[in-house]
């Protein structure tokens, strides 16, 4: 099953979730209790936007290996898309417990807090995520600007674990920069 898992991981990272799913299922035929294969299946299903199936596969992965942070990540992501912020918060918290320096755990939990309307805790987790990984500074800036970060119904949310576009500068800063540029040109 190891050869299937490495092939599946390669397919997943090369944006071939269908190939990764087939590899995971081949590994599970050899060993139905292989937590890594269940995790790979969950990751592939998440990429395919089959979040109900992804949640089931990720639950099986964490039942078999409670210390698998990646499986908790996949579970939280599926739960967020399935509109289960309480469950996603718990899964992300477990991921944070296992990997306290992994910024994605804080980001996922921030999305859960956002869905629950808990802005204060959302911003605190976004600050922690941005401190651990500068890619998430834009998420924090967008949230501070009052923008919604996570919409489970939108296909665009899949890019949220990556980086968001930089937020537009506040208008007051725009005029400050414009004035400085004009002064520089005048000089």
Do residues 106 and 137 lie in contact, with contact meaning Cβ atoms separated by under 8 Å? no
Q: pLDDT by residue (tens digit) across 132-157?
A: 999 999 999 999 999 888 887 776 65
Which distant-in-sequence residues (6+ apart) come within 8 Å of 82 by Cβ?
A: 51, 52, 55, 152
Please choose, from the candidates 162, 127, 159, the residue with its C-alpha nearest in 3D space to the C-alpha of residue 143. 127
CA–CA–CA angle 39, 106, 58 (5° rounding): 15
Res. 51: pLDDT tops 90: yes
Res. 177: pLDDT tops 80: no
Query: In 10 A of CB 160, how many CB atoms?
Result: 19
pTM, two decimals, is 0.81
Predicted confidence band of residue 165 (pLDDT cuts 50, 70, 90): very low
């Amino acid at each position: 099953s190891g050869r299937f898992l490495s092939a599946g991981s390669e397919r997943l990272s090369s944006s071939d979730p269908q190939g990764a799913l087939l590899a995971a299922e081949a590994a599970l035929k050899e060993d139905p209790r292989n937590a890594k294969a269940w995790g790979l299946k969950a990751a592939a299903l998440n990429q395919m936007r089959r979040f109900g199936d992804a949640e089931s596969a990720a639950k099986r992965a964490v039942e078999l290996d409670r210390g698998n942070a990646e499986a908790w990540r996949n579970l939280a992501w599926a739960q967020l898309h399935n509109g289960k912020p309480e469950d996603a918060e718990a899964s992300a918290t477990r991921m944070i417990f296992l990997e306290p320096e992994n910024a994605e755990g804080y980001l996922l939990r921030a999305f859960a807090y956002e869905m629950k309307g808990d802005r204060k805790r959302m911003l605190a987790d976004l600050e922690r995520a941005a401190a651990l990984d500068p890619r998430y500074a834009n998420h924090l800036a967008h949230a501070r600007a009052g923008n919604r970060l996570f919409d489970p119904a939108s296909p665009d949310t899949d890019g949220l674990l990556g980086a968001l576009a930089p937020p537009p500068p506040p208008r007051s800063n725009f005029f400050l920069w414009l004035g400085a540029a004009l002064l520089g040109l005048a000089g």
